[in-house]
Amino acid sequence: MERIAFGGSLTRPQFSLVQRLLICQWRPMTIMLLSAVAYAQILNWWMAALIFAATWSLMYVMRARQWRQLQASDQHQITGNISEQGLEWNTPMTSTRLPWQKIIKVRQHPDMLLLFYSANCALYLPKSFFASEQAWNEAKQAIILFSRGPS
């Protein structure tokens, strides 16, 4: 297999997609809902709704801040290669080489792949990082073939 090159930077919608795929949405929402119900038993329903809305707003603000920090840094330009040996991931400040044995899970989305190297840490590969539809399809096939497969 020849090396498959990729490169690009995340758009805001792609960043949001990575965040949604990386963090289970139901976990924070469940915690917020249970907290609101618990407070409702102590206070009243209006106060519980206010706490729920404030927590949801805080999550949104934190995600927006993460996006601004990513754009302000030099980390948003990514290049790399996919080969039989593994994945090479480069930013202006870092370089990572992960052999396929280190990839513990692959999460697929129609326009994005997340390659997990630990339970909560993943490298992202959006479709837009590849030069053509053929390169994207070859990359997906290679990742599934060499890693432990999609989940």
pLDDT in tens, 54-97: 777 777 677 667 666 655 554 568 899 999 999 999 988 889 99
Q: Is residue 62 located within the same domain as residue 101?
A: no
Closest-CA residue to 136 (of 106, 102, 113, 118)? 113
Domain count across the chain: 2
Q: Is residue 85 located within the same domain as residue 121?
A: yes
Select from 56, 72, 88 the last residue of a domain. Answer: 72
What is the extent of the structural domain holding 109? 4-10+75-146
Tell whether the model's pLDDT for residue 130 goes beyond 90: yes
Select from 72, 90, 119 the last residue of a domain. Answer: 72
Residue 151 lies in a domain: no
pLDDT in the model for residue 28: 62
DSSP letter at 120 equals T
Q: Is residue 95 located within the same domain as residue 44?
A: no
Q: Which residue has the tokens 């934190």?
A: 62
Residue 91 lies in a domain: yes
Residue 90 lies in a domain: yes
